[in-house]
Chain A
Amino acid sequence: MALVKVEDLVKRYTPEGPNAVDGISFEIQKGEIFSLLGPNGAGKTTAISVISTLLPPTSGEAYVNGHDVRTEPMAVRQSLGVVPQDLALYGNLTGLENLRFWGEMRGLTGATLKREIDEKLELTGLTERAGDRVNTYSGGMKRRLNLAVGLLGNPPLVMLDEPTVAIDPQSRRYILDWVKRMKDEGLTVLYTTHYMEEAQELSDRIGIIDHGELIALGTLDELIQLVGQQETLMLQLWQGDGLADFKEAVQALEDVDQASIREGMLVINVPSAEAMLPTVLSQASALDHRNPRAEPGDRLPAPYRPRLA
């Protein structure tokens, strides 16, 4: 059974605004580490916010541990721990006080709470500094404490939103090792990052997200194969209002794997851009769009190409 199930999920912040998450679908199996890989602004944090019940979805479905995020938010929250991108800690409280507070807010009490706190302090290497205010911690120590808070109560699903942003290599290594240890302990992890090598090192499966769309999904081998076999063609019409119809028409063509609209351009994933161009142009002509501007696009969002190659 999938611990997380997302179906055609859409999130739009304003009725007229763009889709921050645009119809993504995926499942995460129990015990799996699943990474959402994408550049800043791709929609990773928004997707996590909807799955964690912080934001309501505009449309589509999302389930955690079998609970609907719309109708059973408390059950969903009970099933997950979130490590946010920001350091969501109280700087004027000590490390110990932070852990106690967040543990109590998760419903932990008495001996269970104490055991959890001791364990997390030991895991983060913060036992010696537990009585110091968080304001006095280094960036790496704060990141580790932030992670420990998300793990309090050992929830079945842990969602980590870019936990290694702006930290030193030593702390980063520490966190990556810890995530791997979580998998060994049977936890399920949804990990977001814009570092390809992190996704590569940690993940059982990777979903590549850009402009709110899940543009690729699979294991690392599957993605490399996919990227290796595909090219991207980008077209811009002189009359922008027919772009949606053009997309529908192109999507229906044989050999077009995926078509999407991005910043006023139609982006098409095809086996060969050069071979496909005449067919696409004739389709444009049939819809009365003359001489559209065409250019080859990136195979993947720029940050990942060198690393994948």
Chain B
Amino acid sequence: MRKLWILILKEIRLTFRDRGLIITMLVTPLVITLVIAGAFGNGGSGLSDIPVILINKDEGFLSEELVNVFAMEGVTPLVQLEVAPNSKEAEAAARARVESDDVAVLVIIPSDLTSRLYPFSETAQEILGVDFETWGEGETPELTEAEWQALSMAYVQSQIQTPAPSEPAEVVLYASPDWRISTMIVKSIVTQGLTQLQLTTQGYDAIVSRIIRAQMASGDLSMSDQDNAQAELADTFAGFGGSQGAAELEQSYDLPIRLRIKSPSGRGFSWLSYSAASQAMLFLMFAITSGGRTLLAEQEGGTLPRLLITPNPPLTILLGKMAGIAVTGLMQMLLLWGATSLVGAYWGAPVAVAISMVVLVLCASGLGAFISAWAQSPGQAGAVGTAFSLVAAALSGTFVPRPNMPAWGQTVSLVTPNAWGIEIFSNLQNGKSLQEILPLLGGALALTVGYYILSLIGFRRQFK
């Protein structure tokens, strides 16, 4: 054990005295994390086939128009829409699918959407019929005086009813933090739909007001007891204006509706946190494979053969070397954890993060050992290590959120420590506990065992 510790200390000394390695291991990942977080902090670019579930709790006619937005040309390639029934069970199931990253966004249309957006709708439909908005210029319905009076009264009241209810209705986008870019796309679709609804209600108003004005002009409508209301009505007509612009995460319209994005943990996706973990994994891979390369460099340089003829079992020498590399990698992860936390990254519950780091460093050092065991020279190990690290990073979701990667990429990447690292840290960042990520840690450990078995076979071949 003492010899093992001596070898580990030697490895740490050699690593931390190498300025080039320090830049690679610590400075570069930190800078890249900050750059990526700065560049993508407010969203990203396009995608397709975003899995979306929609639950429409509103029975009014306006919500149908919102649902139809997802079927518009230009929107259909972006979204794979699944409309779920309006029931508690269906909503719970949909939420669970978002939480498991199976679905990007659950859109919930509130039950009072139509009544909030267009309080007059019920009376208008009752008196004028459901298709009143299709009436053209000059067309007027044949109504009794009582119907005209009821219609004009309801209309005037709907226009002068101020202020609006204190709490607007909410269209909720229940979104997975890992599907940040997809969520932004769905949000813009829904925003477009809400803007469309606003224009629609304004159109309805215009039609009804035209009908009422026409009736008043013909003298058929008695306004004896509604002078004041008529004045208000005139003001209201003058006040029709343009549409509202889109806002960011939360948007309130003049119309009493609000768009809100919620995530399962209550903690939104953070590019800074995601990048901190994924970049740390990438540069851990660089450091470990570079450490593995030094095993071959020591073989070539003569220090490894010299070690192997000291009175120590060869396995101790090999373990000491690999343990040294692993401890160095762990120190790198801890330092990056600390540094990125200082600038605002969140990694998850500290104990779970620390344990995960140990497991992932073991996994990465297994890969380093595997490459060293099968490479023919330090140069080959370096080239293979760098290439593997970059490909693994790309497949695993270091540069694009992992759930946005194609399914085959997500599956293939499970042979890399990066994928397990990103899965584990994403879950911890989303508020999962150590217990909840145990299966993932088990997966990473299984991969570690696999790497070390293959490494032992390679080392036996190399040092027989």
Chain A residues in contact with chain B, CB under 8 A?
49, 52-54, 56, 74, 77-78, 80, 82, 84-90, 92-93, 97, 101-102, 104-107, 133, 149
Tell whether, in the assembled complex, residue B311 and residue A52 are in contact, meaning their CB atoms are under 8 Å apart. no
Min CB gap A107→B, angstroms:
6
Tell whether, in the assembled complex, residue B307 and residue A105 are in contact, meaning their CB atoms are under 8 Å apart. yes
Residue of A nearest to B9 (CB): A101
Offer 9 A-B interface pairs, CB within 8 angstroms, sorted by A.
A52-B309, A77-B309, A77-B312, A87-B301, A88-B301, A88-B305, A105-B3, A106-B310, A149-B306
Min CB gap A88→B, angstroms:
4
Could you say which of B2, B17, B307, B309 has the most chain A C-beta atoms within 10 Å of its C-beta?
B309
Among the listed A86, A102, A107, which residue makes an inter-chain contact with B301, where contact means beta carbons less than 8 Å apart?
A86
**With contact pairs A92-B13, A92-B14, A97-B13 given, residues A104 and B305 touching in the complex (Cβ less than 8 Å):** no
By a CB distance below 8 angstroms, the chain A residues around B311 are: 74, 77-78, 106-107
Q: For the complex, give the distance between the alpha carbons of A86 and B306 in Å.
A: 10
Q: For the complex, give the distance between the alpha carbons of A254 and B217 in Å.
A: 145
Tell whether, in the assembled complex, residue A90 and residue B303 are in contact, meaning their CB atoms are under 8 Å apart. yes
By a CB distance below 8 angstroms, the chain B residues around A93 are: 10, 13-14, 17
The answer to the question of B308 belonging to the interface, with a C-beta cut-off of 8 Å to chain A, is: yes
Tell whether, in the assembled complex, residue B306 and residue A88 are in contact, meaning their CB atoms are under 8 Å apart. yes
Q: For the complex, give the distance between the alpha carbons of A80 and B303 in Å.
A: 16
Task: Give me 4 other A-B pairs in contact (C-beta within 8 A), A77-B312, A88-B305 excluded.
Answer: A53-B309, A93-B17, A102-B310, A149-B306
**With contact pairs A105-B3, A105-B6 given, residues A89 and B303 touching in the complex (Cβ less than 8 Å):** yes
By a CB distance below 8 angstroms, the chain A residues around B303 are: 88-90
The answer to the question of B18 belonging to the interface, with a C-beta cut-off of 8 Å to chain A, is: yes
Tell whether, in the assembled complex, residue A77 and residue B310 are in contact, meaning their CB atoms are under 8 Å apart. yes
The answer to the question of B129 belonging to the interface, with a C-beta cut-off of 8 Å to chain A, is: no
Among the listed A54, A92, A101, which residue makes an inter-chain contact with B308, where contact means beta carbons less than 8 Å apart?
A54
Min CB gap B307→A, angstroms:
7
Residue of A nearest to B7 (CB): A105
Tell whether, in the assembled complex, residue B305 and residue A105 are in contact, meaning their CB atoms are under 8 Å apart. no
Could you say which of A53, A54, A85, A93 has the most chain B C-beta atoms within 10 Å of its C-beta?
A54
Q: For the complex, give the distance between the alpha carbons of A80 and B3 in Å.
A: 19
Q: For the complex, give the distance between the alpha carbons of A84 and B333 in Å.
A: 37
The answer to the question of B302 belonging to the interface, with a C-beta cut-off of 8 Å to chain A, is: yes
Min CB gap A279→B, angstroms:
46
**Mask of B286-310 contacts with A, CB within 8 angstroms, 1/0:** 0000000000000001110111111
Min CB gap A20→B, angstroms:
15
Tell whether, in the assembled complex, residue A88 and residue B302 are in contact, meaning their CB atoms are under 8 Å apart. yes
Q: For the complex, give the distance between the alpha carbons of A80 and B305 in Å.
A: 14
By a CB distance below 8 angstroms, the chain B residues around A107 are: 311
Q: For the complex, give the distance between the alpha carbons of A304 and B305 in Å.
A: 30
By a CB distance below 8 angstroms, the chain B residues around A85 are: 302
Min CB gap B8→A, angstroms:
12
Tell whether, in the assembled complex, residue A84 and residue B13 are in contact, meaning their CB atoms are under 8 Å apart. no
By a CB distance below 8 angstroms, the chain A residues around B2 are: 104
By a CB distance below 8 angstroms, the chain A residues around B464 are: 56
Q: For the complex, give the distance between the alpha carbons of A90 and B15 in Å.
A: 12
By a CB distance below 8 angstroms, the chain B residues around A101 are: 6, 10
Q: For the complex, give the distance between the alpha carbons of A87 and B302 in Å.
A: 7
Among the listed B17, B309, B312, which residue makes an inter-chain contact with A92, where contact means beta carbons less than 8 Å apart?
B17
Residue of B nearest to A51 (CB): B309
Q: For the complex, give the distance between the alpha carbons of A42 and B301 in Å.
A: 21
Residue of A nearest to B464 (CB): A56
Nearest first, the 3 closest Cβ-Cβ pairs linking A and B are A86-B302, A88-B302, A88-B306
Q: For the complex, give the distance between the alpha carbons of A70 and B438 in Å.
A: 46
Min CB gap B416→A, angstroms:
30
Min CB gap B46→A, angstroms:
49
Q: For the complex, give the distance between the alpha carbons of A102 and B7 in Å.
A: 10
By a CB distance below 8 angstroms, the chain A residues around B10 are: 90, 93, 101
Tell whether, in the assembled complex, residue A54 and residue B305 are in contact, meaning their CB atoms are under 8 Å apart. yes
By a CB distance below 8 angstroms, the chain B residues around A49 are: 305
Min CB gap A43→B, angstroms:
17
By a CB distance below 8 angstroms, the chain A residues around B13 are: 92-93, 97
Tell whether, in the assembled complex, residue B312 and residue A105 are in contact, meaning their CB atoms are under 8 Å apart. yes
**With contact pairs A104-B6, A105-B6, A107-B311 given, residues A84 and B306 touching in the complex (Cβ less than 8 Å):** yes
Min CB gap A275→B, angstroms:
48
Q: For the complex, give the distance between the alpha carbons of A2 and B308 in Å.
A: 25
Q: For the complex, give the distance between the alpha carbons of A54 and B304 in Å.
A: 10
By a CB distance below 8 angstroms, the chain B residues around A106 are: 310-311
Tell whether, in the assembled complex, residue A82 and residue B6 are in contact, meaning their CB atoms are under 8 Å apart. no
**Mask of B26-63 contacts with A, CB within 8 angstroms, 1/0:** 00000000000000000000000000000000000000
By a CB distance below 8 angstroms, the chain B residues around A56 are: 464
Q: For the complex, give the distance between the alpha carbons of A53 and B306 in Å.
A: 11
Tell whether, in the assembled complex, residue B305 and residue A92 are in contact, meaning their CB atoms are under 8 Å apart. no
Among the listed A74, A92, A102, which residue makes an inter-chain contact with B18, where contact means beta carbons less than 8 Å apart?
A92
By a CB distance below 8 angstroms, the chain B residues around A54 are: 305, 308-309
Residue of B nearest to A159 (CB): B309
Min CB gap B410→A, angstroms:
40
Min CB gap B204→A, angstroms:
79
By a CB distance below 8 angstroms, the chain B residues around A52 are: 309
Could you say which of B14, B303, B312 has the most chain A C-beta atoms within 10 Å of its C-beta?
B303
Min CB gap A270→B, angstroms:
40
Q: For the complex, give the distance between the alpha carbons of A101 and B306 in Å.
A: 12
Tell whether, in the assembled complex, residue B307 and residue A84 are in contact, meaning their CB atoms are under 8 Å apart. no
Q: For the complex, give the distance between the alpha carbons of A78 and B310 in Å.
A: 7
Min CB gap A97→B, angstroms:
7
Q: For the complex, give the distance between the alpha carbons of A84 and B302 in Å.
A: 8
**Mask of B308-323 contacts with A, CB within 8 angstroms, 1/0:** 1111110000000000
Q: For the complex, give the distance between the alpha carbons of A101 and B298 in Å.
A: 15
Q: For the complex, give the distance between the alpha carbons of A101 and B321 in Å.
A: 14
Q: For the complex, give the distance between the alpha carbons of A54 and B306 in Å.
A: 9
Could you say which of B6, B17, B307, B311 has the most chain A C-beta atoms within 10 Å of its C-beta?
B311
Residue of A nearest to B305 (CB): A54
Q: For the complex, give the distance between the alpha carbons of A19 and B306 in Å.
A: 24
Tell whether, in the assembled complex, residue B14 and residue A90 are in contact, meaning their CB atoms are under 8 Å apart. yes
B residues 274-296 near A (Cβ < 8 Å) are none
Min CB gap B316→A, angstroms:
10
Min CB gap B104→A, angstroms:
50
By a CB distance below 8 angstroms, the chain B residues around A89 are: 303
Q: For the complex, give the distance between the alpha carbons of A98 and B414 in Å.
A: 41
Tell whether, in the assembled complex, residue B306 and residue A82 are in contact, meaning their CB atoms are under 8 Å apart. yes
Q: For the complex, give the distance between the alpha carbons of A49 and B310 in Å.
A: 13
Q: For the complex, give the distance between the alpha carbons of A87 and B301 in Å.
A: 7
Residue of B nearest to A109 (CB): B2
Residue of A nearest to B304 (CB): A88
By a CB distance below 8 angstroms, the chain A residues around B14 are: 90, 92-93
